[in-house]
Amino acid sequence: MILAYCNQKGGVGKSTTVYHHARAAILDGQRVLVIDADPQGNITSVLTEDMQEGDVGVADALSSRSSDTLADVLVPGIWEGLTVAPTVGDNLADVRNELVISSEPGRESRLRAQLAAIQTEYDLVLIDCGPAIDPLTISALTAADAVVIVSQSKLWSVNGLAKLMNTVSLVREHYNPRLTVAGLVLNAHEAHTLAGGHWADELTAAAEAAQLPILTPPVPKRQAIADATETARGLDEGDAQARELAAIYAAHIDQLKKGTAHV
């Protein structure tokens, strides 16, 4: 299964969600590939070691000026069973600009074609997209089986959901007719606040109206989640409260694997 993690708004926790979903899938015994399609390269910085400026990465696999394929740029992740297609430096931003001005036929399908050659080596592929609907995100959606939408219980999350779903519909129409929505993650949820509760209800209602599955339970706003990511540890390696948080991501992976997210 290939999942693209998307939201056109930055700061919603896409990379953090990819990190903890990857950890949960590894603990579930799955072989996991994480593709860093975000020019910021955040997921590469926490899931790999010893990457240096100038190392090959996703940019080289996507650029028409390079002969490297996705298989050529893969590196071991920090956990056994994890492989990463990394992004280091500014190369991917340059390739994004290349894709914007390129008129080369099939540029949106380049990632899909290269991923098809290695997909059978993995049980789960997670693509971390940047905070924009740009050619890199379109490439990821074209390659994916399904989208995981990472959102928060805030006003702009409700407003942005329709825009993102419009992009999914356009990709389905023009590039990838099999694309579905695997689930919506309500991230950094503050259930104890009036605003958090209100906008969570609004977002849930909007998702249900659009028949979008919701991964449960929501992820609460906890410092331990960010701390584990920044120190490249699993929540399962922490204290009892951290392990309770790890169980949330494990539940998400189980729902994604079984296709049992709530609608």
Domain boundaries, the chain: 5-258
Residue of 56, 129, 68, 62 lying closest to 100 (CA atoms):
62
Question: Above 90 in pLDDT, residue 98?
Answer: no
Question: Above 60 in pLDDT, residue 203?
Answer: yes
Return the SS3 of 150.
strand
Per cent of the chain over pLDDT 70 is: 89
pLDDT tens readout for residues 119-154: 999 999 999 999 888 999 999 999 999 999 998 766
Rounded Cα gap, residues 81 and 64, in angstroms: 30
Topology classification of domain 5-258 = Rossmann fold (3.40.50)
DSSP 131-144: SS-SHHHHHHHHH-
Rounded Cα gap, residues 228 and 17, in angstroms: 12
Q: Please give the average per-residue pLDDT across 191-210, as a whole number.
A: 68
Q: 44 or 51: which carries more pLDDT confidence?
A: 44
Computed over every residue of the chain, the mean pLDDT equals 88
Rounded Cα gap, residues 76 and 33, in angstroms: 9
Question: Above 90 in pLDDT, residue 28?
Answer: yes
Q: Which of 2-11, 77-86, 155-164, 182-191 has the lowest mean pLDDT?
A: 155-164
pLDDT at 157: 60
